[in-house]
Structure 1
């Protein structure tokens, strides 16, 4: 398969996902549709390296993730990030729910090794799945080594549609409050904020508009990402902090001091391409889920995901009630453990666009829904899951 044929096929899949999402008003999220189509493709005629053939190898995907997560940081302020402490508590409570239910009920159905291998990938992303997969392989548990990867790949099939449903309910509630004048929003409109970005922060970072080219905007984003990476490397002997986590923090700081503008990657005209490349790489993980593999582990896979979702719902419901956070938002935040970034960003934006066409209403919904979803995904997928994997792998 040639590169141009590959990219056309993959872009067609992404567009079909968007089309279905728009037609169903986000009841069927695009990421779910794309995941199904990718799975079908890998089971039929796709070469296993179709995404790399199309021009998005892992090294490019890593670059795009650094750029995108720095850009995410520009959507938050330091004040907003600190204000998300409730989100962090809810995300942690959802993770605790997965652990308690799987150990309490799952261990009665399956052997303890299956439960141990299932939890970190269910809570997080690729890194935790790889840690558990390699640990199981070294322990001679071949089927569980495969199970760790597949549960990471397949958990989104549960997370995508459920998240879309609960976010739509939350969005409708917030929209009604906004229309009744009951929803608190930022004193400055988003458009006004963006137009005054260049006047904020330290003057040392400001350049005349004619020199503020797209390349210069890309350069500044890359500098922030590079600083985040170098900091994670420097801290490695003392404490392991994922460079991508620091990208979010450094992005927030860079926006706060005026080094980066809000939506920096969009203003550099690179956001759409970056999201496209990263989404293709995420779906590339489905190449490992062969039909025979799925048949072998289908029962523990389905049961563990169902138990995990039940655990997240119960514990996030309790945490939300104690913290006075709506049950739908609390559940949605906990569900980010099943997919993380960029799916949390994509699904949230799809739901917002489906609920209203008014830009002020969309800005209000974005302000209240997007930050907790992004922070929740980072806490569970990027941070906690890796820590859990490092602990659980020693039990095999």
Structure 2
């Protein structure tokens, strides 16, 4: 079925809007990404064409542009000091990955067989790149059902990750809000001034006057930094998305980029919409026949992986002084990555705080950890793991 671009756009946005409304009504008990994912998969199984997202104009070029700009923008949310301070988060995220591999490759191997766990484990530790690597390798070896399993793992794991993370982050947001309410933490203007003073040590470019911080100017600067990031990534031997975030941090530190750049430009909401729509488009591959064929190893490996992840990340997090809720949430970013980690954090903070002061404190505490966790798992670790596991298949 073919729709006009406006019809397809309206359908996609209706699904995303319903997800958001349900999340608001349930105070993020049912996260928007989970609701939207369910609606999309039901739609693909019934009346929606598989390319509805592409028909709505959210095709690959603009999606990648959105990703580059959004990740550069995410860098402007953190100072260099804050980023370096997240080394504990990085360790916790990697510990969660180790927990996944430990249980899937031992108990999982006994229950579901070597080929199943080898193909399914890398996608469970991260995102689409790992899924593509494993499914392609399995298909080349004539292992059709194994290739389907690797693809389905990437598509389905978010259904587990969204509600579990939402529950944990809501508890963490409530705990942080109580610290403000009890007076244990005070959000003062003095603290903000000290933060600004710290940033000024690295500033080499004077602030752009407010009247010149227009949509075009901010987007131009973000685009320039993103372009430099893509050029530098092969030289640095790093993933280009990681470099975008790092260069965003540097751009803010030296004064070239504004803090919360896309928010100031008024472009953030639309770009995140493009990205979320594109991610849900992947659900069109999850046919009922596919899920029926590989249901037992799929769900069994997911349960084992999450169990191992939760135990190991909680133990390591406790040693670093993190709550088990925050530690497990950091590790859970492996199941969905960016931008779901951003949306889940914002929704959970909004649902379990009582005023702007509590909300901002909860976001400031949770969001950097969730963003760094997502990069550690999805963008870095999963690709390395997949490259190794391909040889084991």
TM-score by length of 1: 0.94
CA distance in 2, matches of 1:371, 1:182: 21
1:212 maps to what in 2? 213
Q: Go from structure 1 to structure 2 and tell me whether the alpha carbon gap of 1:187 and 1:210 turns closer, same or farther (over 3 Å shift).
A: closer
CA distance in 2, matches of 1:28, 1:204: 44
2:301 maps to what in 1? 304
Structure 2 contact 337–378 (Cα < 8 Å) conserved: yes
1:126-275 superposed matches below 5 A: 126-183=128-185, 202=203, 204=205, 206-235=207-236, 239=237, 241-275=238-272
Cα deviation, residue 178, structure 1: 1.8
How many aligned positions are there? 391
Instruction: Give deviations 1:335-394, integer Å, cap 9, x for gaps.
Output: 110000000000100011111241111111111111101100110000000000011001
Cα deviation, residue 181, structure 1: 2.2
The question of 1:27 aligning with 2:29 is answered yes
Cα deviation, residue 183, structure 1: 3.5
CA distance in 1, matches of 2:218, 2:348: 29
1:60 maps to what in 2? 62
Where 2:297 maps in the other structure, the secondary structure is helix
Where 1:181 maps in the other structure, the secondary structure is coil
CA distance in 2, matches of 1:386, 1:367: 29
Where 2:53 maps in the other structure, the secondary structure is helix
Cα deviation, residue 3, structure 1: 1.0
Q: Go from structure 1 to structure 2 and tell me whether the alpha carbon gap of 1:311 and 1:196 turns closer, same or farther (over 3 Å shift).
A: same
RMSD between superposed Cα atoms in Å: 2.0
CA distance in 1, matches of 2:204, 2:154: 45
Structure 1 contact 197–261 (Cα < 8 Å) conserved: no
CA distance in 2, matches of 1:176, 1:17: 28
Structure 2 contact 205–255 (Cα < 8 Å) conserved: no
Structure 2 contact 199–253 (Cα < 8 Å) conserved: no
Cα deviation, residue 26, structure 1: 0.3
1:347 maps to what in 2? 344
CA distance in 1, matches of 2:357, 2:260: 17
1:325 maps to what in 2? 322
Cα deviation, residue 189, structure 1: 6.4
Between 170-179 and 367-376, the greater mean CA deviation after superposition? 170-179
Structure 2 contact 173–353 (Cα < 8 Å) conserved: no
1:70 maps to what in 2? 72
Where 2:58 maps in the other structure, the secondary structure is coil
CA distance in 2, matches of 1:182, 1:153: 42
Structure 1 contact 198–206 (Cα < 8 Å) conserved: no
Structure 1 contact 120–388 (Cα < 8 Å) conserved: yes
Cα deviation, residue 214, structure 1: 1.3
Cα deviation, residue 266, structure 1: 1.0
CA distance in 2, matches of 1:356, 1:207: 34
Cα deviation, residue 212, structure 1: 3.1
Cα deviation, residue 282, structure 1: 0.5
In the alignment, structure 2 segments of 5+ residues that lack a partner are none
Cα deviation, residue 205, structure 1: 5.3
Where 2:338 maps in the other structure, the secondary structure is coil
Cα deviation, residue 203, structure 1: 5.6
TM-score by length of 2: 0.95
Structure 2 contact 90–372 (Cα < 8 Å) conserved: yes
The question of 1:5 aligning with 2:2 is answered no
Instruction: Give deviations 1:249-295, integer Å, cap 9, x for gaps.
Output: 11111111111111101111110000000000010110110111111
Where 1:155 maps in the other structure, the secondary structure is helix
Instruction: Give deviations 1:193-245, integer Å, cap 9, x for gaps.
Output: 9999998964645444443321110000001111110011334xxx3x11000
Instruction: Give deviations 1:1-37, integer Å, cap 9, x for gaps.
Output: 1111111111110110011001100000000000000
Q: Go from structure 1 to structure 2 and tell me whether the alpha carbon gap of 1:296 and 1:247 turns closer, same or farther (over 3 Å shift).
A: same
In the alignment, structure 1 segments of 5+ residues that lack a partner are none
Instruction: Give deviations 1:65-119, integer Å, cap 9, x for gaps.
Output: 1000111001101100111111011101100000001011100111101111111
Structure 2 contact 239–380 (Cα < 8 Å) conserved: yes
